Amino acid sequence: QLQLQESGPGLVKPSETLSLTCTVSSGSISSTAYYWGWIRQPPGKGLEWIGSIYYSGNTYYNPSLKSRITISVDTSKNQFSLKLTSVTAADTAVYYCARHSSLRSPLDPWGQGALVTVSS
């Protein structure tokens, strides 16, 4: 059964870059059938789609975050990554990675999530 696991620093300073990696196991990230996405959830708040990447490297970003986001894929490591620049306290959230068949399709499964706190 496909599993996803987020990893990265749990604390990032304001104005710096948040970097997270999602490792995919029991399945290939190179599958032509799937997109790989990032979603975040500030404490006590709702879900926000950040962006997704196709195995080929084509990326799709939330317009509200587009200027600060880079999502990349490393097929040799079966991983995909998120970089969010110029972070502020508003970027404090649990960050989830997930898979979907297309941008129209539901996100399933999800990783367990990684809390990233932006603070000096």
Partner 1 sequence: QSALTQPASVSGSPGQSITISCTGTSSDVGGYNYVSWYQQHPGKAPKLMIYDVSNRPSGVSNRFSGSKSGNTASLTISGLQAEDEADYYCSSYTSSSTPVFGGGTKLTVL
* Min dist. Cβ of residue 54 to partner 1 (A): 13
Give contact residues for partner 1 (rule: CB under 8 A): 39, 45-49, 60, 62-64, 96, 103-108, 110-113
Which are the contacts of 41, defined by CB distance < 8 A and separation ≥ 6?
A: 47, 48, 93, 94, 96, 113
Q: Please say which residue, 15 or 115, places its beta carbon nearer to partner 1.
A: 115
Question: What is the tally of helices (H) and strands (E) in the chain?
Answer: 0, 10
* Min dist. Cβ of residue 106 to partner 1 (A): 4
Length of the chain (residues): 120
* Min dist. Cβ of residue 105 to partner 1 (A): 7
Q: Please say which residue, 55 or 110, places its beta carbon nearer to partner 1.
A: 110
**What CA–CA distance (Å, rounded) separates 62 from 70?**
11
Q: Please say which residue, 28 or 64, places its beta carbon nearer to partner 1.
A: 64
* Min dist. Cβ of residue 21 to partner 1 (A): 17
First-to-last alpha carbon distance for the chain, in angstroms, is 39
Which are the contacts of 58, defined by CB distance < 8 A and separation ≥ 6?
A: none
Q: Please say which residue, 74 or 108, places its beta carbon nearer to partner 1.
A: 108
